[in-house]
Amino acid sequence: MKKYIFYTLLLAIFASITFTSCKYEDDCDCSGSEPLAYETLTSYLKSINMDIDHVLKNADDQKFVMGAPADGDLSSKWIMDIRGAADFASAHIEGANNVAFKDILTAAAGADKPIIVVCYTGQTACYATSLLRLYGYHDAQALKWGMSGWNSQFDKWTPNCKDLTNSSNWTTSEASAGSFDAPNWTSTSTNGADILAERVEAVVAAGFKTASGADVLATPGNYYINNYFSADHYSGFGHVNGAVRVNPLMIDDCSKLDPNGKVVTYCYTGQTSAVLTAYLNVLGFDAYSLTFGMNGMSHTNSFWEAGGVTNHWGYDSNPKSLPTVPSN
């Protein structure tokens, strides 16, 4: 009888250990038999030195974004223009190739120079650049401000710079980030390289996921909001009610993001947040980039000047007057 009780207790302890819920540090998938695809992917990304910081700035110290050169010469780049076909046909940078967003990975395989991605405002291009870097094109970059920064005739920034912060959902009260389990998803692959390729391809197929400042301000409770600012800018500008501040944001910091919520990230322009959002979607989060960033929510906020904050459209950042060509 004593032996029976002893083995029963052993079985109970084993079951308790086996079926404990998964955390970021665990290797289980909550079934007790297979490793989490998330853990396999993130371990692989760390092993190849492709944590989030090396998408924002690669091993050669190249940022994900580059400004338009003063002389308009992009002959050293393979220009991937992901705007609509009609807009591309009307006017584009000389030497550019028109590529639909869904085809960026296929087109990249034919590039014979480092890739620069061009869109209307720089935001979709930054999202694409993040995915290209994760797919192996580590020197891919986006054209900062897009065609809006290339020439004022394409300016889509000015009409989207808004002041919405008279909302009751704008605050200076600090919110604390939570602590969450890892995203729980499955993969048809079992090794890190194949899972990464599979995830990037899926995120490309899904398209750029965005949220507007107006929507987030109206219903902040519908999102888990990350303000990607420094501490003094977080308080100096104010922020959306409930927005946490996770900066820096690395793989290990993702435990501060809710895997069961709509994770919306915002920055100053929507360009850095686009890079982060693409990466988070690859990791399995339901992630969104807030379009036009602080420029689209609080464009005349006095802290732009008081805090010496750059990337302020129409102030320290303005379009150039660079040439374009029509399609033949």
Kindly list the distances between the CA atom of residue 179 and the CA atoms of 27, 35, 76, 112, 130, in Å, as whole numbers in the listed order: 18, 21, 45, 44, 26
Inside any domain, residue 41: no
Q: Is residue 325 part of a domain?
A: no
9 and 65 fall within a common domain: no
Residues 142-166, mean pLDDT to the nearest whole number:
97
d(CA 61, CA 234) in angstroms, rounded, equals: 27
Better-scored residue on pLDDT, 31 or 220: 220
Written as six digits, the tokens of 169 are 């959902």
CA-angle at 249, arms to 246 and 255, nearest 5°? 75
Mean confidence (pLDDT) of the chain:
91
- Indicate whether 15 pLDDT > 80: no
pTM: 0.90
Domain boundary among the residues 108, 129, 155 is at 155
**pLDDT tens track for 53-87:** 999 999 999 999 999 999 999 999 999 999 999 99
Q: What is the pLDDT of residue 328?
A: 73
How many Å apart are CA 165 and CA 272, to the nearest integer? 21
Is residue 243, in this structure, part of any structural domain at all? Answer: yes
Q: Tell me how many domains the chain contains.
A: 3
Residue 21 lies in domain: 2-33
* Assigned domain for 236 exists: yes
Can you give the pLDDT at residue 201? 98
Q: How many CA atoms lie within 13 A of 322 on its CB side?
A: 21
- The answer on 114 and 180 residing in a single domain is no
Mean pLDDT of 133-144: 98
Residue 23 has pLDDT above 90, yes or no: no
Mean pLDDT within 98-106: 98
Question: What is the reported pLDDT for 24?
Answer: 52
Structure tokens at 311: 């990337």
314 falls within a domain: no
With 70 as the cut, is the pLDDT of residue 265 above it? yes
Token digits for 193? 């390289």
Same domain, 136 and 240: no
The amino acid present at 166, given as its one-letter code, is N
276 vs 49: CA distance, rounded Å: 16
Q: Using DSSP, state whether 199 is helix, strand or coil.
A: helix
Burial of 286 from C-beta contacts in 10 A (0-12 / 13-18 / 19+): middle
Percent of the chain clearing pLDDT 70 (strictly above): 89
- Tabulate helix, strand, coil % of the chain (nearest 5): 40, 15, 50
CB 180 within 8 A of CB 252: no
The per-residue pLDDT for 37 is 95
CB 265 within 8 A of CB 287: yes
Instruction: Output the CA–CA distances (angstroms, integers) from residue 313 to 123, 238, 318, in the order listed.
Output: 14, 19, 6
**pLDDT above 50: residue 5:** no
What are the residues whose beta carbons fall under 8 Å from the beta carbon of 303, sequence distance 6 or more? 233, 236, 237, 309
In terms of C-beta distances under 8 Å and separation of at least 24 residues, what long-range contacts does 157-162 make, across chains too? 157/121, 157/292, 157/295, 157/313, 157/314, 158/313, 158/314, 160/121, 160/291, 160/292, 160/295, 160/296, 161/292, 161/295, 161/296, 161/299, 161/313, 161/314, 162/213, 162/214, 162/292, 162/296, 162/297, 162/299
Q: Are 202 and 282 contained in the same domain? A: yes
Do residues 124 and 214 share a domain? no
Are 220 and 257 part of one and the same domain? yes
- Shared domain for 273 and 190, answered yes or no, is yes
Say which CATH number the domain at 78 has: 3.40.250.10
The rounded Cα 98 to chain-centroid distance in angstroms is: 23
pLDDT tens track for 168-208 = 999 999 999 999 999 999 999 999 999 999 999 999 999 99
Q: Place 327 in a pLDDT band, splitting at 50, 70 and 90.
A: confident
Domain membership of residue 99 (yes or no) is yes
